Amino acid sequence: MMDMEHYYQPEIECASREQIRAWQDERLAKTVKRVYENVEFYKKRMDKQGIKPEDIQSTADLHKLPFVTKDDLRDAYPYGLLAAPLSDCVRIQSTSGTTGRRVVAFYTQHDIDLWEECCARAIAAAGGTKDDVVHVCYGYGLFTGGPGLNGGSHKVGSLTLPMSSGNTERQIQFMCDLGSTILCCTPSYAAYLAESIHERGLQDKIKLKAGIFGAEAWTEEMRQDIERMLGIKAYDIYGLTEISGPGVSFECSEQTGMHINEDHFIAEVINPETGEVLPDGEKGELVFTSITKEAFPLIRYRTRDICILSHKKCSCGRTHVKMTKPLGRSDDMLIVKGVNVFPSQIETVLLNQGYPANYQIIVDRQHNSDTIEVQVEMTQEMFSDNAGVVTEREKKLVDALKAMLGIYVKVNLVNPKTIARSEGKAVRIIDKRNLYQG
Amino acid sequence: MTVKQISVFVENKAGKLAELTEYLHQHEIDMRALSIAETQDFGIVRMIVNDTYKTSCILKEAGYVASITPVLAVEMPDEPGSLFKILKMLGDGGINLEYMYAFLTRKEATAYMVLRVEDNEKAIDILSKKGIHMISQEGIAGL
Q: Which of A83, A23, A33 is nearest to A59 (CA)?
A: A23
Is residue A61 over pLDDT 90?
Answer: yes
Q: DSSP string spanning chain B?
A: --EEEEEEEEESSTTHHHHHHHHHHHTT--EEEEEEEE-SSEEEEEEEES-HHHHHHHHHHTT--EEEEEEEEEEEESSTTHHHHHHHHHHHTTPPEEEEEEEE-SSTTEEEEEEEES-HHHHHHHHHHTT--B--HHHHHH-
Q: What is the pLDDT of residues B45-103, one digit of tens each?
A: 999 999 999 999 999 999 899 999 999 999 998 889 999 999 999 999 999 999 999 98
Shared-domain flag, residues A398 and A339: yes
Cα→Cα distances B48→B7, B10, B11, B138, B139, Å:
9, 16, 20, 12, 12
Domain residue ranges in chain B? 3-69, 70-142
What is the average per-residue pLDDT within B20-44? 92
Q: Which amino acid is at A339?
A: V
Minimal CA separation from B108 to chain A, in Å: 30
**Edge-to-edge strand ranges of the sheet holding B31-38:** B31-38, B42-49, B3-11, B66-77, B110-117, B97-104
Cα→Cα distances B102→A160, A375, B46, B122, Å:
66, 34, 12, 21
Compare all CA atoms of chain B with the CA of A416 and give the residue at the minimum distance: B63
Classify the phi-psi angles of A338: left when phi > 0, otherwise alpha if psi is within -120 to 50, otherwise beta: left
- Cβ distance A415 to B63 less than 8 Å, yes or no, reads yes
Please, which residues have CB within 8 angstroms of residue A10's CB and are 6 or more apart in sequence?
A317
Q: How confident is the model at residue A355 (pLDDT cuts 50, 70, 90)?
A: confident
Q: What is the pLDDT of residues A159-180, one digit of tens each?
A: 999 999 889 999 999 999 999 9
Q: Which amino acid is at A173?
A: Q
Q: Of B7, B42, B116, which is closest to A413 when you measure between CB atoms?
A: B42
pLDDT at A438: 44
**Separation of alpha carbons A267 and A300, rounded Å:** 8
Shared-domain flag, residues A31 and A132: yes
Residue A282: what are its φ and ψ, rounded to 5°? Answer: -100, 145
Burial class (CB in 10 A: 0-12, 13-18, 19+), A37: exposed
Q: Are B16 and B44 in contact (CB under 8 A)?
A: no
Given the candidates 3.40.50.300, 3.40.50.1110, 3.30.1490.100, 3.30.2130.10, the CATH classification of the domain at B3-69 is 3.30.2130.10
Neighbours of B68 (CB within 10 A): 14
Interface contacts A/B by beta carbons within 8 Å? 51
pTM (global) more than 0.90: no
Shared-domain flag, residues A37 and A159: yes
Shared-domain flag, residues A311 and A178: yes
Neighbours of A134 (CB within 10 A): 25
Best to test chain B binding among A355, A381, A382, A385 (most B CBs inside 10 Å): A385
Q: What is the pLDDT of residues A270-311, one digit of tens each?
A: 999 999 999 999 999 999 999 999 999 999 999 999 999 999
Q: Which of A331, A359, A393 is the last residue of a domain?
A: A331
Average per-residue pLDDT for chain B: 91
What is the average per-residue pLDDT within A402-424? 81
pLDDT at A98: 46
Please tell me the total count of domains within chain A.
2
pLDDT at A156: 98
Q: How confident is the model at residue B44 (pLDDT cuts 50, 70, 90)?
A: very high
List the 54-93 stretch of B: residues with Cβ below 8 A of A: 63-67, 69
DSSP H/E element including A12: helix A10-13
Is residue B133 over pLDDT 70?
Answer: yes
CATH of the domain at A111: 3.40.50.12780
Average per-residue pLDDT for chain A: 92
Quote ipTM for the complex: 0.87
Q: Which of A302, A331, A360 is the last residue of a domain?
A: A331
Shared-domain flag, residues A119 and A147: yes
pLDDT at B137: 86
DSSP H/E element including A91: strand A89-94
Shared-domain flag, residues A295 and A339: no
Q: Of A383, A412, A418, which is closest to B41 when you measure between CB atoms?
A: A412
Superfamily, domain B70-142? ACT domain (3.30.70.260)
Is residue A362 within 8 angstroms of chain B, CB to CB? no
- Cβ distance A387 to B37 less than 8 Å, yes or no, reads yes
CATH of the domain at A396: 3.30.300.30
Shared-domain flag, residues A137 and A188: yes
Q: Of A383, A411, A413, which is closest to B67 when you measure between CB atoms?
A: A383
Enumerate the residues of chain A whose CB falls inside 8 A of the CB of residue B44.
Answer: 385, 387, 390
Sign of dihedral through CA atoms A285, A291, A294, A300?
Answer: positive
Q: DSSP string spanning A251-266?
A: E-TT-SSEEE-TTTEE
| A346 or A250, higher pLDDT | A250
Shared-domain flag, residues A281 and A406: no
**Number of C-alpha atoms within 13 angstroms, CB side, residue A55?**
12
